[in-house]
Amino acid sequence: MDAQGNPPVTLATESVRLPGARHGRDPSRAIKRGPSRVPPEVVAATQRERLFDALAQTVARKGYTAARVSDICDAAGVTRPAFYALFEGKEDAFLATYRYGTDAVLRAMESGYQEAGDWRVGVRTALRILLKVLASVPAFAVMAIVEIDAVGLAGRLERDRVLRCFAPFFADAPRPDLPGPDELADSIVGGIYSTIYRYVAQGRAAELPDLLPLLTYFALAPFVGRAEAKRQLAEDPGEGAGQQQLPKICRHE
């Protein structure tokens, strides 16, 4: 139980299946041939999932600009005609993969947030899920956080849509005696995104969970004050709570 009497939240990050987590050519995903024909809709769904995985891995390895449709098809074990039956082209496939993955992350974060029962614990839990899930599939992190910029206007619009989806996590925040609490929340989201971007762009996606104390402090402090934000970290019921430390730049009270 935490200080507010809430039970610890169990993180079901293992249930979040992101594009790039599996190999498209995994033999277990092959469509079996024989007298019992697989329904066309099942074939299409399987090929779509394999292409999601292959696109995330290919784009993370080669970059969006250099990745070709043929590279993605080869990594997925899917023919070009099958690819174009599902997507209009590389950009359409990228955006579909991006939506699929980011929607899965947001659903997991929302579930953890709702189960927490307290805004402070909920924000910390949602951040933990975000960082842990991205760290678990570096290929998706690179594709969705870094390579989205290479897609152009359509990519920027999709990213803006996703960032707007973080606003509800601040709906229950204490209203500080400051003008523009909504703009404050937008600035916090932008700062968190920039920090995650820097780590992923530097090839440090595996280190993202280490950012939890700093990003939690950054998210809470403007609404509850620095002392309360630090106290919340000390009472963190999640894994590794006893080892969490704020960077020196934040330890000034």
Supply the pLDDT for residue 219. 94
Kindly state the tokens that stand for 77.
């074990």
Residue 3: pLDDT band by 50, 70, 90 thresholds?
Answer: very low
Which is more confident, 234 or 197?
A: 197
Residues 141 and 203: their CA atoms lie apart, in Å, by 10
pTM of the model: 0.84
Kindly state the tokens that stand for 53.
């995985």
Supply the pLDDT for residue 42. 79
Nearest to 135 by CA among 196, 192, 195, 49: 196
The mean of the pLDDT values for the chain is 84
Kindly state the tokens that stand for 190.
């932008």
Which is more confident, 24 or 87?
A: 87
Supply the pLDDT for residue 17. 84
pLDDT mean over 111-136: 94
At 26, give phi and psi (nearest 5°): -55, 125
Nearest to 71 by CA among 61, 91, 156, 155: 61
Nearest to 86 by CA among 46, 143, 113, 126: 46
Q: Please name the CATH architecture into which domain 13-250 falls.
A: Orthogonal Bundle (1.10)
Supply the pLDDT for residue 241. 41
